[in-house]
């Protein structure tokens, strides 16, 4: 296919979307016999006359040309239309956008979200910050795989022309209200970093679960926004909230630094859930792994753990004697969880693992 040949495309009469960033029409390539559908994005007449809007559109083309990842929208053609205004063509994702997709199980949701993170991570590796991540800008291809698109507000980090050749005007707010990071609200370029996309990704993940509504600067753990409300076993959702603790947080330095690190965290969470992992928290309802009916009750609590006051002999237990005995075994501390239905018992030795005590002593946020 010849790049930049606007006459190669025939409109089908179907509109894909309309927005201030550009109008998108479903088109076919007259040179292809397969009848495949594509999306052509053009500039509205009013926008096409504004040089700064044309520059923004060209910047999106520049970004898309760099991508080579199945989870990022690829560019098929680009050039100038009959008005001399820029256009671009991308594949048509027939299963629509994420905002209209049916809700999935926790595991299926995380696997889909992993693909989204991998797509954004690919952009971050190219020093491109999306700045407009939201469900409407994430598409589903014919295999229901997520594809990140609409880079109309993207920012190229380290661009030598950012002072006078800019994508976003000073103090212009970039991105959606519900999904944008707090520091991006005033449009300052010095605040544009990959952590802003990480915040938006967290908001997207939260929206992918049933019973959720968009929220602004509220806590994702608030009563209104808590995942899995009303469920007896919230094990999976608590682990998701622990992931979101590093994404939907106001302080950018407290977030994952970029989408690649976020994707690695999602991968770890998927492995934890595949292994039937549980939140490492005393004050959290843990369903019995044996009978599946009861709930484990800890016979010693956080204060015992903090002070190391629980004597193992009080439970009829004796820790193995090692000779010579390493220093870390000099004080034996057992944590004991007892099922309140079948009596199944779980034993823990957090004193033997660095950092384990701190994990157990946390409170659910």
Structure tokens at 8: 């190669």
> Which CATH superfamily does the domain covering 6-91 fall into?
Phosphorylase Kinase; domain 1 (3.30.200.20)
135 within 8 A of 206, measured Cβ to Cβ: no
User: Are 6-91 and 98-274 the same fold in CATH?
Assistant: no
Cα(140)–Cα(164) distance, rounded to whole angstroms?
Answer: 36
Q: 3-class SS at 219?
A: coil
pLDDT of residue 307: 65
pLDDT of residue 176: 61
Low-confidence ranges of the chain (pLDDT < 70): 1-2, 17-22, 33, 46, 48, 159-176, 187-188, 232, 301-332, 364-365
123 within 8 A of 72, measured Cβ to Cβ: yes
The answer to whether the peptide bond before residue 324 is cis (omega within 30 degrees of 0) is yes
* Domain boundaries of the chain, sorted by first residue: 6-91, 98-274, 296-361
pLDDT of residue 360: 84
The predicted model scores a pTM of 0.85
Cα(191)–Cα(290) distance, rounded to whole angstroms?
Answer: 51
pLDDT of residue 17: 67
pLDDT of residue 81: 86
pLDDT of residue 305: 66
Dmax (CA) of the chain: 86
Cα(308)–Cα(351) distance, rounded to whole angstroms?
Answer: 9
What's the fold here for domain 98-274? Answer: Transferase(Phosphotransferase); domain 1 (1.10.510)
Residue 102 vs residues 112, 185, 238: alpha-carbon distances, Å: 12, 30, 22
The region that residue 171 occupies, defined by phi over 0 for left and psi between -120 and 50 for alpha, beta otherwise, is left
Alpha helices in the chain (DSSP H): 45-48, 51-66, 106-125, 194-207, 235-244, 259-274, 302-307, 356-361
pLDDT of residue 357: 83
């Amino acid at each position: 296919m010849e790049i930049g040949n606007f006459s190669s495309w025939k409109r089908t009469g179907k509109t894909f979307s309309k927005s201030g960033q550009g109008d998108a029409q479903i088109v076919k390539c007259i040179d292809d016999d397969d009848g495949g559908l594509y999306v052509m994005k053009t500039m509205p007449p009013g926008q096409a006359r504004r040089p700064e809007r044309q520059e923004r559109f060209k910047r999106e083309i520049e970004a898309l040309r760099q991508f080579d990842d199945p989870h990022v929208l690829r560019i098929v053609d680009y050039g100038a239309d009959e008005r001399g205004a820029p256009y671009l063509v991308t594949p048509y994702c027939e299963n629509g956008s994420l905002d209209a997709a049916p809700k999935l199980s926790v595991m299926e949701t995380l696997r889909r979200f992993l693909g989204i993170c991998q797509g954004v991570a690919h952009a971050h590796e190219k020093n491109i910050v999306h700045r407009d991540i939201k469900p409407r800008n994430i598409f589903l291809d014919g295999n229901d795989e997520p594809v990140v698109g609409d880079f109309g507000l993207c920012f190229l980090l380290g661009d030598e022309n950012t002072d006078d050749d800019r994508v976003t005007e000073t103090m212009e707010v970039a991105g959606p209200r519900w999904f944008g990071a707090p520091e991006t609200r005033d449009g300052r370029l010095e605040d544009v970093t990959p952590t802003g996309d990480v915040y938006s990704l967290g908001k997207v993940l939260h929206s992918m679960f049933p019973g959720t509504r968009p929220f602004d600067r509220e806590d994702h753990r608030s009563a209104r926004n808590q995942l899995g409300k009303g469920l007896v076993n919230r094990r999976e959702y608590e682990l998701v909230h622990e992931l979101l603790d590093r994404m939907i947080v106001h302080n950018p330095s407290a977030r994952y630094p970029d989408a690649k690190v976020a994707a690695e965290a999602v991968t770890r969470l998927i492995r934890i859930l595949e292994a039937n992992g549980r939140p490492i928290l005393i004050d959290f309802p843990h369903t019995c792994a044996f009978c599946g009916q009861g709930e484990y009750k800890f016979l010693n609590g956080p204060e015992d753990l903090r002070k190391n006051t629980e004597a193992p002999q009080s439970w009829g237990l004796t820790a193995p004697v090692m000779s010579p005995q390493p220093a870390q075994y000099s004080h034996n501390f057992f944590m004991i969880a007892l099922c309140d239905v079948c009596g199944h018992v779980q034993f823990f030795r957090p004193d033997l693992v660095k950092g384990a005590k701190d994990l157990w002593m946390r409170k659910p946020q």
